[in-house]
Amino acid sequence: MTLSAENLRVDSAAGHFGPYGGRFVPEALISALEELDLEYHKAIQDPEFNQELSGLQKNYVGRPSPLTEAKRFSEYAKLRVFLKREDLNHTGSHKINNVLGQALLTVRMGKKRVIAETGAGQHGVATATAAALFGLDCVVYMGEEDTQRQALNVARMKLLGAEVIPVTTGTRTLKDAINEAMRDWVTNVETTHYLLGTVAGPHPFPTMVRDFHRVMGVEAREQILNQAGRLPEAIAACVGGGSNAIGIFHPFIDDETVQLHGFEAAGDGVATGRHAATLTGGSPGILHGTRSYVLQDKDGQTLPSHSISAGLDYPGVGPEHAWLKDIKRASYHPITDTEAMDAFSLLSKTEGIIPAIETAHALAGVLKISDQFKPTDIVVVNCSGRGDKDVETAAKWFGLKI
Amino acid sequence: MNSILEVFKKTKVENRAALIAYLPAGFPNKEKSSEILRLILDNGADMVEVGLPYSDPLMDGPTIQQAVEISLENKTSIDDCFQIVKELSTSKKPVLIMSYYSPIEKYGVSKFVENFALANGAGVITPDLTIEEAGPWILKTTEQEIARVFVVAPSSKAARLTKVASEVTGFVYAASLMGVTGTRAQVSSKAEELVANLRKTTDLPIAVGLGVSTPAQAKTVGAFADGVIVGSAFVKILLENSDFEKAKTLIVELTQQLRAALPR
């Protein structure tokens, strides 16, 4: 597919979604954000860019990713579950969709260095992969706590030639990795592109990253029409920053009969305060250059988040999700660590697919809301990543010896 | 706001740059931050910036990050910052707050500006508030006559400088380099160019900050800027000296040396 102007939803010029979005950044970054916005809009109207991107999607990533009906899992869910198999992409998750788009833009802007933040390591691995492919220098910032729980991905990034810098400030997770990446960007903005990995951050990131991920929803829509002969009753996806969710939601937004469900990480439970369910337990505020829902105290200080899933362990969320929540076009629900890990196990044993723990939140969500549906109803779940990186965490959770 | 312009009028007559000092509120604790800022004012600073601590300070390097973490561990609140502003305002010199926008918006823009005015604050520096997002801020600070200081950077193009400077009251904060706060070996060559570009578009006083820490650097910057902003150098002294009395002595010395370097 191409990112032509007519299939993009038009947002206001300054990147707002209702009261959310915008730019809350040091003035030093404004010219880089303007350059990026301009280059992005030029690129998506350029047939050469679109050809190159779709060529990479097909021949490097392996798109289109399959849509698999999960028949045995469906028996437990008591409705028809289809999985959009982003776990089968090169590098193992949906993150590569956005990374290739931004890497092409980096080359077009004449920049030689990319930096990225990563939580679970999937975005870091995808960025390191693209950097290797395009011959760019690559530095990945990762919270020290995450480097420990996702050690395998740290090794992968290093093997791909990237430098991984553990971040030891603040909560030592994704939030602080983004702070460090922003500081690097402010310092090196002339030579460096900040390859932000989610639909948050200052404009144009929420819009641009979403557009690079729309391919998931566009494919899924066509595939479900072919396989089931009709649109699904619902789409389900996990939400941390919200990139896999917005990518699959977006092409269905105008299909009023299709429910959109996002599942956030509730950690030990929202009531315990140890969670990362920003849309459920947070309030409107500013974090990392954008206005959205944020976990914060009465003085606007960001609160630490908690989740077994490093990729969802973030106290903010993309501004478009905040807007979709407020206008009630999408609904967002919390899923605890325990619920997610039960679903992780169930999918593994019923379908032979070990999902990422992030993805397991969406699967648990389907099990949780299934009583709202008839057995013949269809839900498409974004199977956003594979669980190879999580084997150690899962083994520990289930008491297996490695 | 008027008190800020008065200071720059006075320093212009004296043919020197103004000395502006920064310290996070609540570092090393609430009482001591107030005491240190008072000491700095008494020893030659023309105005001070009280740093409002924020959990995600994107513009700050390791030194100020560390101080801010300590301040937050001390549970420094926004109301504590206003209290410190009020205490310092008896010096009759302008007291500003430097704050990221998240705390201001969460506290409530109207309430923030009103309580700051009640504390006799002179102006607020907002390092991550872009003018596009500043509508309510501009209205409220205008109403309460609070100076609105935006930060510009060497990467800002001419048209952008004009646009940002047109919304500023008090003085324009020129970041001397592309990067975060912290001490540097040398003054960035970009600072003078940025000030020259600003002069083409605004008659407001221009103060330069980021990476200015020594008397020699203050002298260099003071030759072309109306104000010199020093922050990390003071923070560093407090971080490196657990003996508070010794730290105070060093801070007094540094303040006096910086002030002595400013006459042109």
**Are the Cβ atoms of A298 and B133 closer than 8 angstroms?**
no
Secondary structure class of A242 (helix, strand, coil): coil
- CB contact, 8 Å: B69 with chain A? yes
Whole-number pLDDT of residue A217: 98
Query: Residue B2's pLDDT is what?
Result: 76
Residue A384 is among the residues annotated as catalytic for this protein? yes
Mean pLDDT of A142-155: 91
pLDDT on residue A1: 40
The yes-or-no verdict on residue A121 having pLDDT over 50 is yes
pLDDT in tens, A268-308: 999 999 999 999 999 999 999 999 999 999 999 999 999 99
Range of the domain at B89: 3-260
In this model, does residue A99 exceed pLDDT 90? yes
Cβ pair B106:A26 closer than 8 A: no
Average pLDDT, chain A: 95
Segment A25-54 shows an average pLDDT of 96
Predicted confidence (pLDDT) at residue A5 exceeds the cutoff of 60: no
Q: Is B86 exposed, middle or buried (0-12, 13-18, 19+ CB in 10 A)?
A: middle
Q: Which residues pair with A85 in a beta bridge?
A: A383
pLDDT value of position A2: 42
Residue range A213-237: mean pLDDT, rounded = 98
Q: pLDDT tens digits for A316-362? A: 999 999 999 999 999 999 999 999 999 999 999 999 999 999 999 99
- Measured between CA atoms, the residue of chain A closest to residue B153 is A28
Cβ–Cβ contact B27 with A under 8 A? no
Between chains, do B155 and A189 touch, taking CB under 8 Å as contact?
A: yes
pLDDT interval class at B187 (50, 70, 90): confident
Q: Which of B6, B35, B49, B143 is catalytic?
A: B49
How many CB atoms sit inside 10 A of residue A110's CB?
8
Test mutation, A23, A27, A176, chain B, max B CBs within 10 A: A27
Rounded average pLDDT over A196-216: 97
- The H or E element spanning position A123 is helix A122-134
Domain with residue B240: its CATH number is: 3.20.20.70
Catalytic residue chosen out of the listed positions B60, B80, B192, B226 = B60
pLDDT for A352-382, tens place per residue? Answer: 999 999 999 999 999 999 999 999 999 999 9
Instruction: Report, as an integer, the average pLDDT of B95-118.
Output: 98
Contact B58 A285 (CB under 8 A): no
pLDDT at residue A13 tops 60:
no
User: Where do the H-state alpha helices sit in A171-318?
Assistant: 174-188, 205-228, 243-249, 278-281
Lowest-confidence pick of A120-134, B70-84, B179-193, B244-258: B179-193
Which residue in the set B107, B130, B179 is minimally distant from A187, CB to CB? B179
Q: What is the pTM of this model?
A: 0.95
Q: For residue A305, which amino acid is it?
A: S
Q: Does B108 touch chain A (CB under 8 A)?
A: no
> What's the mean pLDDT in A207-213?
98
Which helix (DSSP H) or strand (DSSP E) does residue A48 occupy? helix A47-56
How large is the average pLDDT for residues B152-178? 96
Per-residue pLDDT of B235-253, as tens digits, reads 999 999 999 999 999 999 9
**What pLDDT, on a 0 to 100 scale, did the predictor assign at position A11?**
46
Q: Which residue in the list A74, A93, A95, A307 is annotated as catalytic? A: A95
Nearest to A24 among B55, B61, B133 (CB): B133
Contact B58 A298 (CB under 8 A): no
Closest residue in chain A to residue B152, using alpha carbons only:
A27
Measuring CA to CA, how many Å separate A71 from each of A74, A83, A248, B184? Answer: 5, 10, 21, 63
Comparing C-alpha atoms, which of A181, A356, A104, B100 is closest to residue A364? A356
Chain B residues with CB under 8 Å of A190 CB are: 155, 178
Average pLDDT over residues A189-203: 96
Classify residue B31 by burial, with Cβ atoms within 10 Å: 0-12, 13-18, 19+.
exposed
What digits encode the pLDDT tens for the residues B109-147?
A: 999 999 999 999 999 999 999 999 999 999 999 999 999
Judge: B179–A186 Cβ closer than 8 Å, yes or no: yes
Query: Is B56 one of the catalytic residues?
Result: no
Q: How many domains does chain B have?
A: 1
List CB contacts of B221: < 8 A, sequence separation 6 or more.
B17, B176, B187, B191, B208, B212, B228
Average pLDDT of B217-224?
97
Residues A202 and B133: their CA atoms lie apart, in Å, by 12
